[in-house]
Amino acid sequence: MASGKQAARSSAIRKSRHILMTATTLGLASVLAAAAPAQAEEGSVKIGFVTFLSGGAAGPFGVPARNAAELMIEAINAGSVPAPYASTGLAGKSIDPIFVDENSKQKNADYQKLVEKDEVDMVLGYISSSSCKAIAPEAEKAQKLTILFDCGTPQIFEEIVTDPQYTFRTGAHATMDNVAAARYLADTGAKTGSYAGINQNYAFGQDSWRDFSASMAQIDSNAKIAAEQFPKIYAGQYGSEISALLTSKPDVVHSSFWGGDMEAFVIQGSARGIFERAKVVLTTGETAMHRLGAQMPDGTIIGARGPHGDLAPESELNDWFRKAYYDRFGTLPTYPSYKMAQALLGVKAAADKAGSTDQDAVIGALKGLEWEGPSGKVSMALANGHQAIQGTAYGTYEFDKETGKASLVDIVRYDAECVNPPAGMNSIDWINSGFEGAKCD
């Protein structure tokens, strides 16, 4: 009896062990099989898209960028983008995308996986400056065409990869946002006797304030800094910072807050009257315009990190992009969407110009290229033709209570050469030199 039971049990154990072993073998086999290079579809261009699909930056940046990518890929493959992009695909080849989450600790390993396992023809992405710093040298090492579409740090081609061969950035870097903000204040005759800043305590916030305060010092040498506030990113509550700003009585408040933090600041700050007592400049305010509507006080100065969204110049391409985006996603495109569309159209323009999607041909054509994006002209003027410059614009917010529509008035446009340092010059040195060689109309 007992031994029978034991035999049954041991056979059961053996069986379960068997199952376990088989499962492990199968698992290993599938990993190895998957490790073998996947066959690329004939006649298509494989592009790896890396943006934030999770985490705090996904909502305001990553997902709008991915949405724009999906929209543009479909339109480019179908040939339904207005002229001069009406031909189908990239030099006739359709785009085959792979999306990857930028929210990962192993960004470089993920990049290598895209290049080697997925055999992408190019990688397009990266929102965080930290990612760009890590990826740019990796791209040069892997010798794979890599297009950074959004990240803002000027260091990429100034310090990290000083002689780029494979890395491009199709978005202008962050310096111009704050130089233009300071210029806009002067151009619209705002009172700038004293100014204060509230920026997030991380690289982008610190750089923004550094550039803005340096620009203000150049434009109005009598202006004084009334207060500097650096709350934690994603803090969400700014009661004490707003009190500090109010007691310092500044004429201007500068903020590079973005996403949820910016919306929280607008709602909390307007309730305490800071928008009435000071001119508030929101360098990324455009993303929240249509969401906040009446909650955003009139007279707020709004930027979009380039001439994007409501600041985009009127063109057939822009009208088409806004309509197509709205029809598909139910919201208007914000600047990350514009930057993604701009990058993809740049690639298309380069491939069409070269008549091929061969890496060397695309690189050759993209170098120093000028093309029209939905937000106007982009030119790869810096870093030996690898870094884009672009004009920018600022406007003043106005909400029409009758129609419930938000709009920007008093829009001032700045040429690329007016708000960007010339080739070979470090951003902060350029500002401190009194914008040497800036060409403004």
Residues making contact with another protein (CB under 8 A): 3, 6, 10, 13-14, 17, 20, 31, 34-35, 37, 53-54, 98-101, 104-110, 112-113, 115-117, 128-130, 133-134, 137-138, 153, 155, 160, 201-204, 206, 210, 230, 232-233
Q: With respect to another protein, which residue has the nearer C-beta, 36 or 83?
A: 36
Q: With respect to another protein, which residue has the nearer C-beta, 105 or 401?
A: 105
Crossing angle for the helix pair 63-78 and 316-329, to the nearest 10 degrees: 110
Q: Residue 416 in contact with residue 313, Cβ under 8 Å?
A: no
CB of 264 to another protein, least distance (A): 19
Q: With respect to another protein, which residue has the nearer C-beta, 54 or 331?
A: 54
The tally of CA atoms less than 13 A away on the side-chain side of residue 9 is 6
CB of 66 to another protein, least distance (A): 8
CB of 111 to another protein, least distance (A): 9
CB of 99 to another protein, least distance (A): 4
Q: Which two tokens stand for residue 427?
A: 């951003």
Question: Amino acid identity, residue 318?
Answer: N
Q: With respect to another protein, which residue has the nearer C-beta, 53 or 411?
A: 53
Cα–Cα distance, 199 to 416 (Å, whole number) = 25
CB of 175 to another protein, least distance (A): 15
Q: Which two tokens stand for residue 142?
A: 């892997």
Q: With respect to another protein, which residue has the nearer C-beta, 15 or 405?
A: 15
CB of 341 to another protein, least distance (A): 20
Verify cis geometry, omega within 30 degrees of 0, for the bond prior to 84: yes
CB of 152 to another protein, least distance (A): 10
Q: With respect to another protein, which residue has the nearer C-beta, 203 or 425?
A: 203
As a whole number of angstroms, the longest Cα–Cα distance in the chain is: 100
Q: With respect to another protein, which residue has the nearer C-beta, 98 or 409?
A: 98
CB of 233 to another protein, least distance (A): 8
Cα–Cα distance, 73 to 344 (Å, whole number) = 8
Pairing label, strands 44-51, 94-101: parallel
Q: With respect to another protein, which residue has the nearer C-beta, 204 or 321?
A: 204
- Let me know the angle formed at the C-alpha of 170 by 424 and 314, rounded to the nearest 5 degrees: 115
Q: With respect to another protein, which residue has the nearer C-beta, 160 or 267?
A: 160
CB of 76 to another protein, least distance (A): 20
Q: With respect to another protein, which residue has the nearer C-beta, 260 or 297?
A: 260
Contacts made by residues 64-67, CB under 8 angstroms, sequence distance 24+: 64/333, 64/334, 64/336, 64/337, 64/340, 65/127, 65/149, 65/150, 65/336, 65/337, 65/339, 65/340, 66/99, 66/340, 67/325, 67/328, 67/329, 67/333, 67/337
Cα–Cα distance, 419 to 441 (Å, whole number) = 11
Nearest to 56 by CA among 136, 132, 127: 127
Q: Residue 386 in contact with residue 145, Cβ under 8 Å?
A: no
Cα–Cα distance, 407 to 403 (Å, whole number) = 11
Cα–Cα distance, 432 to 7 (Å, whole number) = 86
Q: Residue 439 in contact with residue 219, Cβ under 8 Å?
A: no
